Structure 1
Amino acid sequence: MSTSEFDKYKVDHLFLLVGENPLPNYVAARLLLNPGGTPYLVYTTGTEKPAKRLQTILSSEPIGLKTAQLVPLNDGEADAYQIQKAIRSKLETIKDGKIGLNYTGGTKAMAVHAYRAVFSKERPQTVFSYLDPRKLEMCIDSENTPIKPIKVKPEVLPVKLAKLFQIHSLELKANPTQEARLPDLAATLAEIFKDEDKAKHWFDWYYKVFCENARKKKNSNYGDWKSKSELEKLSVSLETAPPAVIAYLKREKLVTPDDKISLQVVQQKGIFTEIKHFCKYLDGLWLEHYVLQQVKNIADLHSIKDYGLNFEVPLKGTRSGFEFDVAFTRGYQLFAISVSTTSKRDLCKNKLFEAYLRARQMGGDEARVALICCTDEPDTLKAEVAVLDEKKIAVFGRDDLMDLASRIGEWIKQNDKDAR
């Protein structure tokens, strides 16, 4: 599907009904406005902020749009007279050029009365449209002909993750990581975790030896990591660590002559900006980096233009905000992946629920969510969260770890099939 299929439906003046999620408005403006065209953002009191934010974003887009005009309805989102009056007053200022209305956002009343305001037999070339989130199609709605659906393929409108966050007025604490750290170590640990007994062997060493040396303790419970100066002095015994991990660390020359891992040597390698980041990596972040590498491996094959991990977002009313472990976009569609080394069902379900809610907030009905964890029963875990739309979620377990790139690829292909 080439962009030329959108060209004959592009307009010079496009009215957009702004809803709680402004992403469809952004997509419609990018696909249906001619270069130099003017967006008209119809909004209510409740959507004033996203409308003004969208006005700023669209002004900086590369197709050179004119500054979006704001069309306030105040509290009249269900008032037929007010909706039609506000839109018609803008229509009267338009002297030439093709006009369009995309009614994906807003309330049903706004869609009905906006249509009535814009529709005119004197303007037969007016383009009416809406975005179908189930099929990822822009539907051209005409009075005398069947609806014309145009598939929005990933290559038509690639949207970066940073843009997606910007559209929702969310500011990242730091730039997302796009390069996996210690990918060979992550792959080694994934190989270990595919076997429950070997994973237990890892946890025995990690908690009883590594954490015993590297973490503070309070009332027999592990707390924060020790100070930087204390960690730099640490050399932790590898005697009871899994052989594959020992082999990797020796190969990378991170082991002292008496077979201990030296955190000072790790720091000197410059892989992590802070020594405690390596500790967190061993604590479970390695799996996020492993997943990131698998996504990167299939990016070109599946038209994935942007990906990363560590999307930490401050959120008012919460202590730590929220975080997407790994995420990528195909076109304007968000794929969010929650990651955990646990096999505990309650923890897994909680992570899946949170990721689902946040992804819907960011990517709307088009968003897709996956959980990658160490359960032995991913299918039954997925069945236990049946309240979520099963076509929009996926669960990958221990048995999927060594073929994860293929599994993610199959998930993407199934998504494409569901959108047909």
Structure 2
Amino acid sequence: MNTSELDKYKVDHLFLLIGENPLPNYVAARLLLNKGGMPYLVYSKGTKDPAERLQTILSNESIGLKTAQLVPLNDYESDAYHIKNAIRLRLESIKVGNIGLNYTGGTKAMAVHAYRAVFSKERPDTVFSYLDPRKLEICIDREDSPCIGIKVKPELLEVKLVEFFNLHGLKLNGKPTQEVQLTELAAALTKVFNNEDKAKQWFDWYCNVFCKEARKNKNGNWGDWNSKTKLAALSISVEKLPPEVEAEFKGENLIDSTGKLSLQAVQQLKTIKQEPVFKEIKDFCKYLDGLWLEHYVLKQVKNIADKNYIKDCGLNFKVSLPGTQHGFEFDVAFTRVYQLFAISVSTTSDRKLCKSKLFEAYLRARQMGGDEARVSLICCTNEPDALKAEMALLGDKKIAVFGRDDLMDLSDKLEKWIKQSDQDAR
């Protein structure tokens, strides 16, 4: 399929039934409206907020659409008379241009009665459509012949990650990271974690040497990091470090004249653009605490981005939620067209913690990306298949689990995951 086939079904006036997730409506508006076209957002009392957010988002984007008209149903989202009456009032005001109805969102009753309101033999060019989440297709419904499915390809549409959050009225805490930090060090640590004995050696040094110097001790547990002044004064022994990591510390000029890790030297680390790699020393500490694996994963995504049409990717997508202490976070995420791929990352092999992280990522990804969303967990379990089997209720095609043995060829594994998702959509 090419763009001309979709162009044949674009309209000047498009009625959209708004559900709790406005993503399908956003996609339909972007793909099915002519330049200068008018969206009509049909919503109930329970979907007023998504409708108003979508109205604002479509108005703010430079895609040449008129400001969307809101069509409220109030409490009558299942009432045939009120649904047909609300839509017909808008139809009567349309004097020029062809009309379309996309009934992906909303209730089943809204879809049925909206169709009855819009369908007319006097308007044979009316376009009826819906978004098929299984096949990632815009489906054009016709009375006298089979449905036409048009695959939504990367050249047709690209939804940025931040747009998924905007559509749901969620505000990101800070700017997500899109540049990989200390690529070689992350690769060295990954190699260490690929070997269970060396991973134990790393944890022994990190917990019993590094944290002992760099963190506050709170009731026998590690608390916050020490102050910037105290951290800058630290030189920490690397005697018990795995040699691969020590070599990378030396390569980054983080080893001082006494042969120890200098946290003051962290402040001298620069990016290619000669900007600080870490804003504060504690950010380097957090990197060693496990963020290095997120950066490694982001690097693997970037490695396969071009040939897999990945246009937007990043890490550290944090969102505050009312009533929760920490909100939620996507460790790493990327988009292909309008499909969200969310990756939860952890250096642990603890089964309970791994399941918890995967389950939360799944729920949040489905909330934001709908049925099209895909989720994976990258951790250090030795039994990824067994862990995935325990999460079978989420659906085999919806999730993937990558363990310790997958780390060294993660780019290939991620690419196979993407291709499997494409196959599932056929």
Q: TM-score interval w.r.t. the shorter chain? A: over 0.9
* Match in the other structure for 2:273: none
The 2-side partners of 1:198 and 1:145 are apart by: 63
The 2-side partners of 1:234 and 1:334 are apart by: 42
Gaps of 5+ in 2: 270-275
* Match in the other structure for 1:73: 73
Q: 1:272: Cα distance to partner?
A: 0.2
* Match in the other structure for 2:38: 38
Q: 1:267: Cα distance to partner?
A: 1.7
Structure 2 residue 239 is the aligned partner of structure 1 residue 239: yes
The 2-side partners of 1:231 and 1:22 are apart by: 46
TM-superposition CA deviations, 1:103-130 (whole Å, max 9, x none): 0000000000000000000001100000
Letter in 2 for 1:396: F
SS of equivalent residue, structure 1 residue 382: helix
Letter in 2 for 1:127: V
Q: 1:61: Cα distance to partner?
A: 2.5
SS of equivalent residue, structure 1 residue 37: strand
SS of equivalent residue, structure 1 residue 77: coil
The 2-side partners of 1:157 and 1:251 are apart by: 42
Q: 1:266: Cα distance to partner?
A: 0.7
Q: 1:159: Cα distance to partner?
A: 0.6
The 1-side partners of 2:418 and 2:190 are apart by: 22
Letter in 2 for 1:32: L
* Match in the other structure for 1:113: 113
Q: Which 4+ runs in 1 deviate beyond 3 A? A: none
SS of equivalent residue, structure 1 residue 371: strand
* Match in the other structure for 1:90: 90
* Match in the other structure for 2:310: 304
The 1-side partners of 2:118 and 2:291 are apart by: 53
* Match in the other structure for 1:372: 378
TM-score (norm 1): 0.99
Q: 1:268: Cα distance to partner?
A: 2.6
Letter in 2 for 1:261: L
* Match in the other structure for 1:396: 402
* Match in the other structure for 2:129: 129
SS of equivalent residue, structure 1 residue 81: helix
TM-superposition CA deviations, 1:252-309 (whole Å, max 9, x none): 2110121110000112323100110100100000000000010011100100000000
The 1-side partners of 2:347 and 2:132 are apart by: 36
The 1-side partners of 2:154 and 2:330 are apart by: 21
* Match in the other structure for 2:175: 175
TM-superposition CA deviations, 1:376-396 (whole Å, max 9, x none): 110010000111011010000
Q: 1:68: Cα distance to partner?
A: 0.4
SS of equivalent residue, structure 1 residue 172: coil
Letter in 1 for 2:305: A
The 1-side partners of 2:389 and 2:226 are apart by: 41
* Structure 1 residues 261-300: aligned runs within 5 Å: 261-269=261-269, 270-300=276-306
SS of equivalent residue, structure 2 residue 329: strand
Letter in 2 for 1:44: S
Of residues 407, 410, 415, the one that matches 2:416 is: 410
Q: 1:2: Cα distance to partner?
A: 2.3
Deviates more, 1:142-151 or 1:215-224: 215-224
SS of equivalent residue, structure 1 residue 57: helix
The 1-side partners of 2:247 and 2:53 are apart by: 52
The 1-side partners of 2:155 and 2:199 are apart by: 40
The 1-side partners of 2:97 and 2:267 are apart by: 62
Letter in 2 for 1:70: L
SS of equivalent residue, structure 2 residue 317: strand
Gaps of 5+ in 1: none
TM-score (norm 2): 0.98
Letter in 1 for 2:187: A
Q: 1:171: Cα distance to partner?
A: 1.0
Letter in 1 for 2:192: I
Q: 1:165: Cα distance to partner?
A: 1.2
* Match in the other structure for 1:326: 332
The 2-side partners of 1:60 and 1:143 are apart by: 36
Letter in 2 for 1:161: L
TM-superposition CA deviations, 1:333-363 (whole Å, max 9, x none): 0000000000010000000000000000110
SS of equivalent residue, structure 1 residue 390: coil
The 2-side partners of 1:331 and 1:250 are apart by: 42
* Match in the other structure for 2:341: 335
* Match in the other structure for 2:365: 359
Q: 1:251: Cα distance to partner?
A: 1.7
* Match in the other structure for 1:204: 204
Structure 2 residue 168 is the aligned partner of structure 1 residue 162: no
The 1-side partners of 2:85 and 2:8 are apart by: 29
SS of equivalent residue, structure 2 residue 298: helix
Structure 2 residue 90 is the aligned partner of structure 1 residue 100: no
TM-superposition CA deviations, 1:189-223 (whole Å, max 9, x none): 00000010110010000001000100101222111
Q: 1:62: Cα distance to partner?
A: 2.7
SS of equivalent residue, structure 1 residue 154: coil
Letter in 1 for 2:177: T
SS of equivalent residue, structure 1 residue 395: strand
* Match in the other structure for 1:218: 218
Letter in 2 for 1:374: C
Q: How many residues align?
A: 420
Letter in 2 for 1:302: N
Q: 1:63: Cα distance to partner?
A: 2.4
The 1-side partners of 2:174 and 2:302 are apart by: 20
The 2-side partners of 1:175 and 1:222 are apart by: 27
The 2-side partners of 1:232 and 1:39 are apart by: 57
The 2-side partners of 1:62 and 1:209 are apart by: 54
